[in-house]
Amino acid sequence: MLITSWQGLGMEKDIFISAIRAFFQLFFTGYVLQFIFGANNPYLTIGILVIMTLIAGKDASKRGQGLPKVFFIVTASIALGEIITLGILLIIKVITFVPNEAIPLSGMILGNSMVAASVALDRLKGSMVQRKAEIEALLALGASPRQAVTNVLKETLRTAIIPTVDRLKTMGIVSLPGMMSGLILAGQDPTQAVKYQIVVMFMLTLTVTVTTVAIALLAYQGYFTKYQGLREDLLVINTKKGHKVD
């Protein structure tokens, strides 16, 4: 908080509230999970996954404030990533659909896709603002909105996916990922923990890619009017002191 204040990022309140929220949420989650694991009911598990997805969607959609249907777009994109990834893990029998496997894995999947969704929405807007002149030049030449934002979409996808790819590159050398560390701490054979982690990392990369592509392809349309002009009211970046940058 001191560092962000010193740098004038205006994120102190955000960091403080997030830290307090994380503290209480984790305690609450511990008790809820204890109850759900004990119940071992598939419908209850699905219900929990739906709630987790909705919360992830609500949180990530804040980055796209003002965009039409942003909550629906973000939630649907995160859900799509979750369904595909969890589906593959179930089909290839890496996990079974029991709460103590499906819920923690979904937590990892949703956490990653939520971050990717936030980054994608943020970059999409930034890139739309930066490339406004290019987009209008292309529209004026007869391009469709989809054609006009080709470079914007490339930039958005790259920015949202690069952190996951970079993490893959240094995995096991710079950092021991959470799941693997947890299994090792719980007394699991490290080679067995590694096998789980490899599958999970590939799945998380898939999740991030699916979520980001879905968000980019759905959300860019919100920046255009129905007659294919740019919505300039959305192409404004608010800075800390409320100055607007066109």
Partner 1 sequence: MDFILKDVDLSKGQPILKHINLTIKKGSIFLLIGPSGSGKSSLLRLLNRLDEPTTGQILYNSLPIQSISVQQLRTEVGMLFQNPVMIKGSVKDNIALGCKLAKKDISEARILELLDRVGLEKKLLTKEAELLSGGQKQRVALARALANNPKVLLLDEPTSALDPGAVLQVKEALLEQNQAGLTLVWVTHDMELAKEVATEAVLLVKGEIVARGTKEEIFNSENQLTLSFMKGEMKTE
Number of helices (H), then strands (E), belonging to the chain: the values are: 10, 2
Q: Does 144 help bind partner 1 (rule: CB under 8 A)?
A: yes
Range in contact with partner 1 (rule: CB under 8 A) among 70-78, 157-165, 215-223, 230-238 = 230-238
Q: Where are the alpha helices (DSSP H) in the chain?
A: 2-6, 12-39, 42-61, 70-91, 99-130, 132-140, 145-148, 150-170, 178-185, 190-219
101 binds partner 1, rule: CB under 8 A = no
Please select the residue that binds partner 1; options are 4, 134, 167, 184, rule is CB under 8 A: 134
Does residue number 160 form part of the binding site for partner 1 (CB under 8 A)? no
Amino acid in position 123: R
Question: Of the two residues 228 and 238, which places its CB atom closer to partner 1 in the complex?
Answer: 228
Q: Is 91 in the site for partner 1 (CB under 8 A)?
A: no
What is the closest distance, in whole angstroms, from the C-beta atom of residue 149 to partner 1 in the complex?
Answer: 13
Give the integer Cα–Cα distance in Å for 94 and 235. Answer: 44
Residue 214: Cβ within 10 Å count: 21
- Which listed residue (70, 108, 119, 139) binds partner 1 by CB under 8 A? 139
Would you give the DSSP letter of residue 182? Answer: H
Residues forming contacts to partner 1 in the complex (CB under 8 A) are 133-134, 136-144, 147, 225, 227-230, 232-233
